[in-house]
């Protein structure tokens, strides 16, 4: 089972983090995902844990893009 070896802040987006498992980059995650799953260095993750983290991260990104899309301008019902 993979172990979290490092969590670092991304260089361009300070609200996202890089997650490293067994010394190799695994994925970028949002601050909310990090807090929601209480991830910290040394945690051991199962395949099921990784699946839940990825699903939650995809959900968070979807919400982020939806809010970003709606914030540009008013939309019609058809859009």
What is the model's pLDDT at position 26? 93
What is the model's pLDDT at position 48? 95
What is the model's pLDDT at position 68? 87
User: In the chain, where are the structural domains located?
Assistant: 4-72
Tens-of-pLDDT digits for all 79 residues of the chain?
899 999 999 999 998 999 999 999 999 999 999 999 999 999 999 999 999 999 999 999 999 888 888 888 776 777 6
* Token output for 46: 């199962």
Interior/surface letters 39-48, b for 16+ CB within 10 angstroms, e for the rest: beeeeebeee
What is the model's pLDDT at position 78? 79
Backbone angles phi, psi at 38, to 5 degrees: 50, 50
4-72: CATH architecture:
Orthogonal Bundle (1.10)
């Amino acid at each position: 089972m993979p172990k979290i070896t490092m969590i670092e802040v991304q260089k361009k987006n300070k609200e996202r983090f890089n997650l490293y498992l067994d010394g190799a980059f695994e994925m970028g995650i949002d601050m909310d995902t990090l807090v929601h799953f209480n991830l910290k260095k040394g945690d051991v993750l199962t395949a099921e844990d990784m699946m839940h983290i990825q699903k939650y991260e995809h959900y968070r990104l979807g919400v982020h893009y939806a809010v970003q899309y709606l914030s540009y301008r008013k939309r019609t019902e058809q859009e």
